[in-house]
Structure 1
Amino acid sequence: MDVLKMIADERRRFADLVDSLTADQLATPSLCGAWTVKEVAGHLVSVVAGSDVVALKLLVLSGFRLHKANARLATLTARQPAARLAALLREHADNPFRPPIVGHPGALTDLQVHGQDIRRPLGLPHELRPDRLRVSLDFLTGGRAIGFTPKSRPAGLRFETTDLAWARGEGPLVRGAAEAVMLALAGRPAALADLDGDGVAILRGRLRAAA
């Protein structure tokens, strides 16, 4: 299993998606906070093609709050034309950058989750690969998904996927398609409607408390 190749392919697929969108679609609110579809694309570009100098300046201006700095960087990067964002994703598709702590599984998960942050509001099919979903599910339930999933979110729950032979944890059940389980673990309440089991209400309460 070569996670770097998975990441490169997801970047190229994301670039193809951005190229296919209209101006109205690019301006649509995504599932990721207050970001538009285009700003989500800007975030993914800034991860591999952003300026270190600009990133450091924004980090200082944000009081060294990483998430706030990342949000500013995404918004700044998204000011470029959509075609340029797509071109940069393709140009840097094979960038081997390894994020601190979360590593390459975190990078792959970032791409898959943000892809759904875009596709779900636009009503587009996800076409996610089962082997890549498995990597992200293992990552999100493995206790090292800093910035994605606090350890308290999956604690005491059992997660099962209906389209993959995958399950983790013990406790009240949360069950559904792998894509929906991944999004719920990553804090997207929109995916809860696609899940069932006694643990869904517990998970919903945790997501609400974290909002």
Structure 2
Amino acid sequence: MSNRWEEIRPQVEAERLSLVKFLEGLREDEWAVRSLCTDWTVHEVLAHLTLSTRTGVKDWLKGLAQARFDFDRMESQQGRERAAQYSPAELIEQYRETAGSTRRSPLSGAMDPLVDVLVHGQDIARPLGREREIPLKLLPGALDHLWNSPFYGVKKRFRGTRMIATDVQWTAGDGPAEVRGPATELLLAATGRPSGLDNLQGEGVELVRATL
């Protein structure tokens, strides 16, 4: 197990448990609200989150084959299927039980579990009109990971721009068009959430919006 994972595992556990506490306060009707991940309701986002510590290589490959090797389709299907199988209360308990788990989804890197809980926490909270603050100290590392990982396609999406966080020390890109604002909004935009762009400024915002 990498030293990097050992360093961030306490942060991942803390954020997962923080999200559990947040989820325990939701009303029954809020579970059916469409999340920022438009394929999923709030209930289905939580179902997806419980899978990362429960899916082995064999099951992952089986799911990928069933989705005709379309990763996004596989993720979408599995989230909906698990939500149909378990109630929100059951999923909250499952998520709590594995908050400190060392297991990760196949092919995922050490930072992916942290990015997962940070971004999906916003996917859940924002459509409900609820606030869920991300600790600022976690954002530079998460943004660095997104920028450098080919999986997320951030360099392609933000081509020709320079990303500048205004509340933490973080920048990326060398393009002439700036995209600047709070690091949480950059995190959402970097992971393909158009709503993140609504709170960003600079001539690069519309360039990025055209790619989403």
Counterparts of 1:141 and 1:51, CA distance in 2: 27
Distance 2:51 2:108 in 1: 17
**2:47 matches 1:42:** yes
Rounded Cα–Cα distance in structure 2 between residues aligned with 1:158 and 1:101: 29
Describe the SS at the equivalent of 1:126: coil
Tell me what 2:157 maps to. Answer: 153
State the AA in 1 paired with 2:31. L
State TM-score, norm by structure 1: 0.89
**Corresponding position: 1:168 with 2:172:** yes
1:113 matches 2:128? no
Q: What per-residue deviation string (whole Å, max 9, x for no partner) do you get for residues 9-61 of structure 1?
A: 11112222222111211100001022000100000001113577655543332
Q: Alignment identity in percent? A: 34
TM-score between the two structures when normalised by the length of structure 2? 0.89
Q: Is the 8 A contact 1:18 1:83 kept in 2?
A: no
Distance 1:133 1:103 in 2: 16
**2-structure distance, mates of 1:65, 1:201:** 29
Could you give the per-residue CA deviations for residues 75-95 of structure 1, whole angstroms, max 9, x where no partner exists? 121121111111111111111
Find the counterpart in structure 1 of residue 182 from structure 2. Answer: 177
Q: Is the 8 A contact 1:161 1:181 kept in 2?
A: yes
Contact 1:16 1:86 in 2 (8 A): no
C-alpha deviation, 1:6, in angstroms: 1.1
Letter in 2 for 1:16: K
Distance 1:195 1:5 in 2: 30
CA distance in 2, matches of 1:43, 1:15: 14
Decide whether the 8 Å contact of 1:102 with 1:145 is kept in 2.
Answer: no
> For this pair of structures, how many residues does the alignment match?
205
Q: Return 5+ residue gaps in structure 1 as ranges.
A: none
User: After the TM superposition, which of the residue ranges 42-51 and 95-104 deviates more from structure 2?
Assistant: 95-104
Q: Which moved more, 1:113-122 or 1:16-25?
A: 16-25
Q: Secondary structure at the match of 1:20?
A: coil
Task: Give the 3-state SS of the residue equivalent to 2:156 in structure 1.
Answer: coil
- In structure 2, distance between residues paired with 1:49 and 1:13: 20
Quick one: which amino acid aligns to residue 39 of structure 2? Answer: A
Compared with structure 1, are the counterparts of its residues 127 and 150 closer, same or farther at alpha carbon in structure 2 (3 Å cutoff)?
A: closer
Q: Distance in 2 between matches of 1:102 and 1:156?
A: 28
| Greater than 6 Å deviation, 4+ residue runs | none
The answer for the alignment partner of 1:127 in structure 2 is 133
Partner of 2:66 in structure 1? 61
In the alignment, which residue of structure 1 is the partner of 2:109?
103
Q: Structure 1 residue 4 and structure 2 residue 9: aligned?
A: yes
Superposition CA RMSD, Å: 1.9
- Superposed displacement of residue 64, structure 1: 2.6
Measured in 2, the distance between the counterparts of 1:196 and 1:71 equals 31
CA distance in 2, matches of 1:145, 1:85: 31
Structure 2 segments unaligned to the other structure (5+ residues):
none
